[in-house]
């Protein structure tokens, strides 16, 4: 049952250690580059890079972070511009180094609708209704019982984290 929950909430899970990106992820990075390239110049300026970062990660980078991305991407000396190849390298590194624990905390907090610090069966049902409305109630109940290891009717962060990190193959 936990595999059902894991598959829905970790489908976009990134590893803390750098890993090769999937072709679909590379394609998304390329699309974002082209959409952010104002004027279709073939490179990204500082402002274009900020727009691209917002598109990929949902936040506006600081001036320091933009500078760091340019220099990591081997920016050209006279003018700070970033080619598609440099952009692919920088964004691939950022995407592949995402922290597992940060992602698990974010998912837990998003599911904890009432900010109680635990998940109730109602919270789990609400999350599934938004993410996978076709999952029958009896599957959600069974998954909840499996995750709630101490049987108190609440899924603590510790229980949730254990479930998200549990490797079926081990």
CATH number at residue 122: 1.10.238.10
Residue with tokens 């489908």: 11
Can you tell me the distance from the alpha carbon of 156 to that of 153, in angstroms, rounded to the nearest whole number?
A: 10
Of 96, 126, 146, at which residue does a domain stop? 96
- Which DSSP helix (H) or strand (E) runs through 32? helix 23-36
Residues 76 and 126 in one domain: no
Q: Would you call 44 helix, strand, or coil by DSSP?
A: strand
Determine, yes or no, domain membership for 12: no
Determine, yes or no, domain membership for 6: no
Residues 117 and 145 in one domain: yes
pLDDT at 89: 86
Residues 90 and 30 in one domain: yes
Of 49, 81, 96, at which residue does a domain stop? 96
Residues 43 and 55 in one domain: yes
pLDDT at 102: 72
- The mean predicted confidence, pLDDT, of the chain is 79
Does residue 80 surpass a pLDDT of 90?
no
Strand-pairing partners, residue 44, are: 82
Can you tell me the distance from the alpha carbon of 109 to that of 115, in angstroms, rounded to the nearest whole number?
A: 7
Q: Is 8 exposed, middle or buried (0-12, 13-18, 19+ CB in 10 A)?
A: middle
Residues 141 and 86 in one domain: no
Does residue 50 surpass a pLDDT of 60?
yes
Q: How many domains does the chain have?
A: 2
Residues 90 and 108 in one domain: no
pLDDT bucket at 97, cuts 50 / 70 / 90? low
Determine, yes or no, domain membership for 8: no
* Domain carrying residue 147: 99-165
Can you tell me the distance from the alpha carbon of 31 to that of 51, in angstroms, rounded to the nearest whole number?
A: 13
pLDDT at 100: 62
% of the chain beyond a pLDDT of 70: 78
What is the average pLDDT across 99-104? 70
pLDDT at 9: 56
Residues 109 and 155 in one domain: yes
Residues 113 and 90 in one domain: no
Overall pTM surpassing 0.85 (yes/no): no
Q: Which of 3-7, 19-23, 44-48, 110-114 has the lowest mean pLDDT?
A: 3-7
Can you tell me the distance from the alpha carbon of 84 to that of 157, in angstroms, rounded to the nearest whole number?
A: 40
Determine, yes or no, domain membership for 83: yes
Q: Is 59 exposed, middle or buried (0-12, 13-18, 19+ CB in 10 A)?
A: exposed
Does residue 64 surpass a pLDDT of 90?
no
pLDDT at 116: 83
């Amino acid at each position: 049952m936990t595999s059902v929950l894991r598959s829905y909430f970790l489908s976009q899970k990134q590893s803390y250690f750098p890993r090769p990106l999937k072709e679909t992820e590379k394609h998304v990075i390329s699309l974002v580059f082209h959409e952010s390239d104002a004027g279709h110049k073939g490179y990204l300026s500082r402002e274009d890079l900020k727009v691209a970062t917002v598109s990929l990660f949902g936040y506006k980078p600081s001036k320091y972070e933009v500078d760091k991305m340019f220099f990591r991407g081997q920016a050209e000396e006279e003018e700070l511009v970033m080619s598609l190849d440099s952009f692919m390298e920088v964004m691939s590194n950022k995407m592949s180094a995402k922290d597992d624990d940060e992602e698990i905390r974010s998912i837990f907090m998003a599911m904890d609708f009432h900010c109680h610090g635990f998940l109730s069966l109602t919270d789990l049902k609400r999350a599934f209704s938004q993410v996978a409305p076709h999952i029958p109630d009896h599957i959600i109940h069974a998954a909840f019982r499996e995750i709630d290891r101490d049987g108190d009717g609440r899924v603590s962060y510790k229980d949730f984290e254990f479930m998200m990190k549990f490797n079926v193959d081990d």
